[in-house]
Structure 1
Amino acid sequence: MKKYLYLVITAMLFAACKKNNTTDIEPVNLNISVAYNLQTSTYKLPLTSVKVKITNLDTKNMQEFTVSDKGTVIVPKLSPGAYDIDASATILAADYTTITGIATTKDVTYNASVKGKQITVGFSDVINLSLVSGTVNDWVIKQIYYAGSDTKNGAIQRDQFIEFYNNSDKVLYADSLYFVETTGLITKSSATSYNLQTNGQLDWSKSVNMPANIDANNDYIYARAFLMIPGTGKQYPVQPGKSIVVAQTAVNHKSPFTGTDGKVVSVLDPSLTVDLSTADFEAYYASFLSNPFASDIDNPSVPNLEVISYFGRDMVFDNPGRYSYALIKVDGTQKPKEWPQYYYPTKAAPTSTATKYYQIPNKWVIDAVEIQPNEISDRIPKKYNANLDAGFAFVPLGSYTSQSVIRKTDKSVNGRIILKDTNNSTEDFDYFTIATPRGFK
């Protein structure tokens, strides 16, 4: 009898513990509040135009919700976990003009995002999303091939390129179009060496000699590499719906070629790499380096970029995807080569040999694409705020996989492809399994 009673009590205790443990996975009702960040209160934009997407980072499951006219969303029975939360709205040009009285011929996009948010059991905070505006740009970054190809059978990193696209209905000129590789905190392990913002990214306001009367973190980006397409002003026209390819080295990487050391450079599997012999521009660093890569040969039929600042021995993009990219276009009042440069905001005083980085005003950025590593655990705090890029793009297989990120096609008008541009790379970009210069997705 005692044995039977013991078994009954044990079973009851086990059942009670099991019941109590279910609280560990009890879903929560997530409350989200959305508002437009407007410079004036004289008009109101429609909140019901806003879409909110919730993506579970583990399962990749995505849910989409429409915001109420009060700017609220309730996500019911959300499982605890890590989530990306993105809000976006596109106001058509005609509607925006009617509502605001501000004449525009371009659609206006608004974005906000919270990345990697941990939703725990019992989470009751309200997620506040402040939508900031951006416009559909004439020039956009179309494709970034930063991953490189296989280290044994491919071209490693020497076949990298970036592609810019005329997304407008008029001829644009590539002359004096700048682009930068944006730097910031790129490894979590080094975070303790720097002054950081509350979001975990570098606090550039703590850089040596940084002016106190500017918003160093929100109004500027900082360039590891700063390059410019040359030209006299109208030397390099780009037709509507056409692009320009900027190669690290403008050769056919599928075929053997002779390096500057006289040795043949070749790949074992040509299908893993790309032909860049018809690129529009190339980076050529050998003329000012003491130890350039032997593979950095100068294709005389392809114009060279003007190098304002650089990192390393060639235009080598970071294979894991820890840096980001921006297009810059200035007017005649600006002299970008004279823009100020600053040290990283290290806690210790910078050494005399420490590198300085160009400070780029956001107002001259016409397009920006945040890149992140493919593994969630390797991702770093965003360098761009939502008015530049509310999301980020990545290649799913990571380094040396021949993959590139590619902007999605939005629509076609009279045969001209218009690429998606919402200032949220999470929404705007897909990937190519094999990078494809001038290709479309």
Structure 2
Amino acid sequence: MDTSKFRHDWNAVPVIFALLCMAMWSCNKYKDDVAEPKMVSHRLSLNMPLNINGATLGGGTAVLTNIQTGRKYTAESFRPSGKGFAADVSLPEGSYNIAVKGIISYRLNGQDIAAKVKAARENVAIGAAETTSTTEIALNVYSAQEGFVISEIFFTGTTTPDGFMYTDDQYFKIGNNSDTTLYADGIAFVESFFTSDDKHDYQPDIMDKAMTISAIYVIPGTGHDVPVKPGEELLMALTAIDHRAVNPNSFDLRKANFEIYDKGSNPEGDQDNPKVPNLSNWYANFSGTFVMHTRGVKSYALARPMADRKTYTAKYRYKFGYIFRQGDIVVPMDEYEYFMPNAWIVDAVNLAVPTAHEWNIISPMLDKGFTYCGTVDFDESRYNKAVIRKKDGRKWIDTNNSTDDFLPNAVPSCLKRPQVVRKAARQGTAGIKTKH
């Protein structure tokens, strides 16, 4: 038996052992070189939305996601700190994406208001420091970033072959400007009480906190009944009929998604299409038929009330006064109208006549500008025109400035060809039977 082979194998053992030791040493050295990230204490400071004072934060949660590892760390115990709220969280140093959500509560006109808030910061570097480092985050009202926008308002009405104004075919559209399917049930369409051509110093002035309204119509549903895909629109008709039977210059609105039907005792009142669901009128004791102001001096908004109909109609109304002036006539006016908290408003659009514009009647936080049809007061060329939101690719432009965001004097999307106005009646709000 040849034992030389075994002698050679045994001679190799010391070499193999040495190699194993070197490998183990290298691994240990690598582990030493790549040490675990240091745990640090970091503070999140949440600032309240503008124009909201004395708010409390409920259910505040911040999720910090480590960009390198994907691990999530949560901060929930927010405490009052200065004019906002703060919480400390222990986590490894690194780069993080931060998402915050919660519900704020505050007082407005003697009522308790609740509003959803959220905020996000990306690529926040969190490192070791001698003292606790802080990241400040400004909270935004959730409704303002929800994704629904007013995409078109046709308020001027068409004209008949004889040149008379026809307003029953007014409509508006709302679009989903997000990247996900949203549910529109619960969204309210509201109209301002004041007009942009008649400025008043009304008291109390709540414009920076709420919108004073004279009409409110809400999309019915339980919360998941009216899905709207990204880029899609809902057509809301004042009267969902084929208007061509009455006015050949008009169009067919029977395929509208919803209509505004105001049931009243007057047999000459509104017309209902039973095949088209009706928006819910939340204005208590409303009598009349809603028609949008054809001169375009009102403001319109979408809102998501965080209250049911019974609560809203009972608690969200206030008394205010102003001085009505016209020539030598000076009359003190006392009013009692509903208000919509700005924190609930999803989107808003100011309308005005350029040569008659005196003021914007909603907070500049909602809309800094205005859009229009026609250029002078009682402009007969305004009929058969709409304001349509511009698009940038597949998205509607929404900078909260209607001067930049909308096409004025646009051809309505439901009107295939512009109509020639020959002798339209010089009326500002013909057909309006609204009386509160």
Does TM-score exceed 0.5, indicating one fold?
yes
8 A Cα contact 2:303 2:344, kept in partner: yes
| Alpha-carbon separation, structure 2, partners of 1:386 and 1:97 | 30
Give 1:305-320 correspondences, 5 Å limit: 305-309=279-283, 313-320=288-295
Give the Cα–Cα distance (whole angstroms) in 1 for the partners of residues 155 and 272 of structure 2: 21
Structure 1, residues 298-329: CA drift from partner, whole Å, max 9, x if none?
11110011112287732200011111101111
Gap change, CA 1:366 and 1:135, over 3 Å in 2: closer
Larger radius of gyration: 2
User: Relative to 1, partners in 2 of residues 1:187 and 1:299: Cα closer, same or farther, differing over 3 Å?
Assistant: same
How far has the Cα of 1:134 moved from its partner? 10
C-alpha distance 303-97 of structure 1, shift in aligned 2 (>3 A)? farther
Change (3 A) 1:430 1:136: farther
The answer as to whether partners of 1:339 and 1:359 remain within 8 angstroms in 2 is: no
Is the 2:387–2:408 Cα contact (8 Å) retained in structure 1?
yes
- Aligned mates of 1:38, 1:96 — CA distance in 2: 28
Superposed CA deviations along residues 410-439 of structure 1, whole A, max 9, x for unmatched, are 22xxxxx21000001111000354311499
8 Å Cα contact 1:252-1:274 kept in structure 2:
yes
Give 1:407 shift.
0.5
Q: Which residue of 1 aligns with 2:137?
A: 102
Match of 1:418 among 371, 387, 395: 395
SS at match of 2:318: strand
Conservation of the 8 A alpha-carbon contact between 2:152 and 2:173: yes
Deviations 1:227-278 (A, max 9, x none): 111112211111111011111000122x21xxxxxxxxx22x42xx332111
1:402 alignment partner, one of 372, 384, 387:
384
Within the candidate set 182, 185, 188, 1:178 is matched to 188
The alpha carbon displacement at 1:401 in A equals 1.3
**Counterpart amino acid of residue 318 in structure 2:** Y
Q: Please tell me whether residue 297 in structure 1 is matched to residue 256 in structure 2.
A: no
Given that 1:407 and 1:430 are in contact with CA atoms closer than 8 Å, whether structure 2 keeps it comes out as yes
Q: Are the equivalent residues in 2 in contact too, given 1:201–1:381 (CA < 8 A)?
A: no
- Unpaired runs of 5+ in structure 1? 1-36, 43-91, 109-132, 189-199, 206-214, 257-265, 412-416
| Pairwise CA distance, 1:97 | 7.2
Amino acid in structure 1 at the alignment position of 2:401: N
Q: Distance in 1 between matches of 2:264 and 2:200?
A: 33
Q: Which of 377, 401, 408 in structure 2 is aligned with 1:431? A: 408
In the alignment, the residues of structure 2 paired with residue 402 and residue 221 of structure 1 have an alpha-carbon distance, to the nearest angstrom, of 29
Give, as a single letter, the amino acid of the residue that structure 2 aligns with 1:236.
Answer: V
CA contact (8 A) 1:247 1:282 kept: yes
2:238 is equivalent to residue 248 of structure 1: yes
2:317 to 337, 341, 349: 341
Following the alignment from structure 2 to structure 1, what is the Cα–Cα distance between the partners of residues 344 and 259? 23
- 1:284 and 2:258 matched: no
Which structure features the higher share of strand residues?
Answer: 2
Q: Which runs of 5+ in 2 are unaligned?
A: 1-49, 53-81, 85-118, 126-133, 324-330, 417-436
Distance 1:438 1:231 in 2: 30
Q: Please, what TM-score do these two structures have when normalized by structure 1? A: 0.56
The one of 217, 233, 237 aligned to 2:223: 233
| Equivalent residue, structure 2, for 1:138 | 147
Deviations 1:9-32 (A, max 9, x none): xxxxxxxxxxxxxxxxxxxxxxxx
Matches within 5 A, 1:84-95: none
Partner AA of 1:370 in structure 2? N
2:203 paired residue number: 204
Q: 1:359 aligns with which of 325, 339, 355?
A: 339
Aligned to 2:365: 387
The C-alpha deviation readout for 1:193-241, integer Å capped at 9, x for no partner, is: xxxxxxx444231xxxxxxxxx623211111111111112211111111
1:41/1:343 Cα in 2 relative to 1: closer, same or farther (>3 Å)? closer
> Separation in 2 of the partners of 1:427 and 1:327?
19
Count of residue pairs brought into register by the alignment: 283
Q: Which amino acid aligns with 2:202?
A: D
**Counterparts of 1:179 and 1:436, CA distance in 2:** 20
Classify the secondary structure of the residue corresponding to 2:214: strand
Distance 2:137 2:223 in 1: 30
**Pick from 277, 297, 300: which aligns with 1:325?**
300
Q: Cα 1:289–1:405, aligned 2, differ >3 Å: closer, same or farther? A: farther
Structure 2 matches for 1:17-56, cutoff 5 A?
none
Q: Which amino acid aligns with 2:300?
A: Y
Q: Shift of the alpha carbon at 1:185? A: 4.7
Please report how far the alpha carbon of residue 178 of structure 1 lies from its aligned counterpart in structure 2 after TM superposition: 0.7
3-state DSSP of counterpart to 1:346: strand
| Residue 408 of structure 1, CA deviation | 0.4
Could you tell me whether the CA contact under 8 Å between 1:248 and 1:314 is conserved in 2? no
Query: What does residue range 186-197 of structure 1 map to in structure 2 within 5 Å?
Result: 187-188=197-198
TM-aligned CA distance change 1:170 to 1:332, over 3 Å:
farther
Q: Distance in 2 between matches of 1:307 and 1:41?
A: 38
Q: Deviation at 1:179?
A: 1.3
What is the CA deviation profile of residues 305-356 of structure 1, one whole-angstrom value per residue up to 9, with x for unaligned ones?
1112287732200011111101111336893223332355134665xxx763
Given that residues 165 and 242 in structure 1 are in contact (C-alpha distance below 8 angstroms), is that contact kept between their aligned partners in structure 2?
yes
The answer to whether the 8 A contact 2:387-2:410 is kept is no
SS of equivalent residue, structure 1 residue 309: coil
**2:114 aligns to what?**
none
Structure 1 residue 283, shift from structure 2 partner: 0.8
Please tell me whether the aligned partners of residues 292 and 314 of structure 1 are also in contact (alpha carbons under 8 angstroms). no
Aligned-pair identity in percent equals: 30
